[in-house]
Each structure stands twice: as C-alpha cells, then as structure tokens.
Amino acid sequence: MIAIKDLKKVYNNVLVVNVPELNIRRGESVGLVGNNGAGKTTLFRMMLDLILPETGEVYMNDEKVAGGEAWKEYTASYLDEGFLIDYLTPEEYFYFIGGLHKLTRAHVDDFLLGLSDFFNGEILKRGKYIRDLSKGNQTKVGVASCLLQNPELLMLDEPFANIDPTTQFRLKNMLKEANKNGVTTLVSSHDLNHVTDVCDRILLMEKGRIIKDIATNSSTLNELEDYFAIEHTGTVRLKIDEEENH
C-alpha cells in the first residue's frame, strides 16, 4: 500500500525527518506517536505531497506520490483546519466534497444522518460558517468529510484533540469500523491510550526517526508510557544539571 524510501527533510539546517525505509500494508491500522517536534506532521505532509523532501520517495500502490494523481482518488486526509474551506457552512462543504466524488446531495444527506451521534447537534443546521466553529467541531467536519469520500487510505493528524470524551469514544468506534471494512488508517496522536486502542501497529518517532515499530498488544501502552516517562525524567534532570552548573 505505502512504501517510503530514504525520506529526509531539513529545516534551518536541522534534519527533522529521516526515514530510511517504511512499509505499510493494505488494511493496516497504524498509529504515529512522539513528542512535539518529533517530525510526525512533517512526515504526513511529505506523504501527501504537500511539502517536498530533500531526498527520498513515497509510493502508494507502487506509484510515486510526488507528481502522481491516482493516489488522490483513494486517499482522504485531515491534518488541520487548513484542509477545510472555512467560509462555507458545514453543509455546503459536505456537498462540495460529495460533488468532487460524484455523490448526489441525497447520498450526502443519508451519510450525514448516520453521523448524528458524532455531530451531537453541534454541526448541521446551526447557521454557522466553518470558521466560526470550535476547534473540536472543525475536527468533526474534517473527519466526516474524509469518511464521506469512502477512502481506501485514511490519514488523520491529532483527531482526538479538542473533542470531548464522548466524541472521542465515538470516533474510536468509527475508526475501528473503517479499518474493519478494509480501510488502511494512519493516525497521529499524543493520546497514547486512544492510539493504542484503535491501531494494530505503533510507530514511535523521536527527532525525525522511527525508533520503535511495535505490533500492538496488551503491554504496548505500558511500554510507551514508560518510554515517555523516562524521556520526561531525563529532560528534567538535564535542566536541573544545567542550572546547577551555572
């Protein structure tokens, strides 16, 4: 499904992404975790041909992403509110996305009806533009527009951020259902509990590198929590040492 080879990105003379090789099989559910600045979003943006790497290639179904078109037909992604058209209402936006994929307004309406619980009465028929919605509700619009496309590949960056616990629970079930139906899912998240719950495979990034590639099991959450606890303790210790040396 996805193959990455020798992918590197540099900002201000700093190597922010360095992935020599990564393969994601069709139908996998993959979680990407790491601290701020680990390179998660930059990696996603290169995979979607939004930014150019210094070196390397991304392939989807054996086609180069850079300059390619076929992968766009089966890929849906939401990384942030910049993916939305904020001067439209949610309804207008859904009809627009549906039209791009040759869906009728009736089809879109039927689809949205099935998301009533996920929307929780906060999205449709509110008379608001997308720009006037909360961050959490903008995320709901972004995720829903992805699912509306019936993709083979779904990529989401921090989809659990800014949404309430009930919606997080519903989103997890939606992602599990999509993957059960054969959708390959890639989810970046700071929430270790959620990402280990919905993903069969976890990639841990640190300073641009994937340093762990873990098949999710009953001990994965504890393993990740231990790693980040050690990272935090080490950072605090370093700061204390620096202050004492001054």
Give me Rg for the CA atoms of the chain.
19
pLDDT digits (tens, 9 = 90+) for 144-196: 999 999 999 999 999 998 999 999 999 999 999 999 999 999 999 999 999 99
User: Whole-model pTM?
Assistant: 0.90
Q: 150, 167, 189: which is the final residue of a domain?
A: 150
Please give the tally of structural domains in the chain: 2
Token pair in block for residue 120: 């929780």
Q: Are residues 143 and 125 in the same domain?
A: yes
Question: Is a pLDDT exceeding 80 seen at residue 239?
Answer: no
Q: Per-residue DSSP letters for 205-219?
A: EETTEEEEEEE--TT
Q: Are residues 89 and 120 in the same domain?
A: yes
Categorize the per-residue pLDDT at 231 as very low, low, confident or very high, splitting at 50, 70 and 90: low
Q: Are residues 238 and 223 in the same domain?
A: yes
Burial class (CB in 10 A: 0-12, 13-18, 19+), 69: exposed
The residue among 227, 208, 216 whose CA lies nearest residue 20 is 208
